Amino acid sequence: MTGTSGQDDWEREFDHRWANAAEHKEPSARARMLAARWKDDPPGPVPFRAGPDPVAPRRSSWMSTVVVLGCVAAVIVLLGYARTHAWR
Protein backbone atom coordinates (compact mmCIF):
# COMPACT_ATOMS: atom_id res chain seq x y z
CA MET A 1 0.00 0.00 0.00
CA THR A 2 1.46 3.33 -1.00
CA GLY A 3 0.84 6.70 0.61
CA THR A 4 -0.96 8.16 -2.40
CA SER A 5 -3.61 5.43 -2.66
CA GLY A 6 -4.56 5.96 0.99
CA GLN A 7 -4.86 9.68 0.36
CA ASP A 8 -6.99 9.05 -2.76
CA ASP A 9 -9.35 6.86 -0.75
CA TRP A 10 -9.61 9.59 1.88
CA GLU A 11 -10.42 12.25 -0.73
CA ARG A 12 -12.93 9.97 -2.47
CA GLU A 13 -14.68 9.24 0.82
CA PHE A 14 -15.32 12.93 1.53
CA ASP A 15 -15.90 14.15 -2.04
CA HIS A 16 -19.05 16.26 -1.67
CA ARG A 17 -19.23 17.08 -5.38
CA TRP A 18 -19.54 13.38 -6.15
CA ALA A 19 -22.26 12.95 -3.50
CA ASN A 20 -24.22 15.99 -4.68
CA ALA A 21 -24.07 14.76 -8.28
CA ALA A 22 -25.79 11.49 -7.38
CA GLU A 23 -28.85 10.76 -9.53
CA HIS A 24 -31.16 9.68 -6.72
CA LYS A 25 -31.45 11.53 -3.43
CA GLU A 26 -33.71 10.10 -0.77
CA PRO A 27 -35.87 12.70 0.99
CA SER A 28 -35.32 13.27 4.66
CA ALA A 29 -37.53 11.60 7.25
CA ARG A 30 -39.32 14.88 7.92
CA ALA A 31 -39.99 15.40 4.20
CA ARG A 32 -41.42 11.88 3.95
CA MET A 33 -43.58 12.42 7.03
CA LEU A 34 -44.98 15.73 5.74
CA ALA A 35 -45.62 14.27 2.27
CA ALA A 36 -47.59 11.40 3.81
CA ARG A 37 -49.55 13.77 6.05
CA TRP A 38 -50.33 16.22 3.27
CA LYS A 39 -51.29 13.54 0.75
CA ASP A 40 -54.88 13.39 2.03
CA ASP A 41 -55.11 16.80 3.69
CA PRO A 42 -52.88 19.47 2.10
CA PRO A 43 -52.07 22.52 4.23
CA GLY A 44 -53.84 25.81 3.62
CA PRO A 45 -52.09 28.95 2.43
CA VAL A 46 -49.93 30.68 4.99
CA PRO A 47 -49.31 34.43 4.85
CA PHE A 48 -45.74 35.59 4.42
CA ARG A 49 -45.86 37.57 7.65
CA ALA A 50 -48.12 36.83 10.56
CA GLY A 51 -50.34 39.52 11.98
CA PRO A 52 -49.02 41.62 14.81
CA ASP A 53 -49.13 39.95 18.19
CA PRO A 54 -50.94 41.79 20.95
CA VAL A 55 -48.38 43.54 23.10
CA ALA A 56 -48.63 44.89 26.60
CA PRO A 57 -48.94 48.65 26.86
CA ARG A 58 -45.54 50.26 27.16
CA ARG A 59 -44.57 52.76 29.76
CA SER A 60 -43.84 56.17 28.39
CA SER A 61 -40.21 57.17 28.00
CA TRP A 62 -40.45 59.96 30.57
CA MET A 63 -41.72 57.49 33.19
CA SER A 64 -38.72 55.23 32.57
CA THR A 65 -36.41 58.25 32.84
CA VAL A 66 -37.96 59.26 36.16
CA VAL A 67 -37.57 55.73 37.53
CA VAL A 68 -33.89 55.54 36.49
CA LEU A 69 -33.07 58.99 37.87
CA GLY A 70 -34.89 58.15 41.11
CA CYS A 71 -32.83 55.00 41.53
CA VAL A 72 -29.60 56.91 40.86
CA ALA A 73 -30.58 59.58 43.39
CA ALA A 74 -31.41 56.90 45.99
CA VAL A 75 -28.00 55.26 45.50
CA ILE A 76 -26.23 58.63 45.85
CA VAL A 77 -28.12 59.39 49.06
CA LEU A 78 -27.39 55.93 50.49
CA LEU A 79 -23.68 56.19 49.63
CA GLY A 80 -23.50 59.66 51.20
CA TYR A 81 -25.26 58.45 54.33
CA ALA A 82 -22.95 55.45 54.62
CA ARG A 83 -19.87 57.63 54.11
CA THR A 84 -20.86 60.17 56.78
CA HIS A 85 -21.65 57.50 59.35
CA ALA A 86 -18.55 55.44 58.64
CA TRP A 87 -16.22 58.06 60.19
CA ARG A 88 -17.79 57.79 63.62
State the DSSP string of 41-66.
SPPPP--SSPPPPP-PPPPPHHHHHH
- pLDDT (0 to 100) of residue 43: 86
> Would you say 35 and 27 are in contact if contact means Cβ atoms under 8 Å apart?
yes
Q: What does the pLDDT look like over 59-82, one tens digit per residue?
A: 678 888 999 999 999 999 999 988
Burial class (CB within 10 angstroms; exposed 0-12, middle 13-18, buried 19+) of 44:
exposed
Note the pTM of the prediction, 2 decimals: 0.33
Confidence band, pLDDT 50/70/90 cuts, at residue 88: low
Look at residue 15 and give its three-state secondary structure: coil
Tens of pLDDT along 25-41? 788 999 999 999 999 88
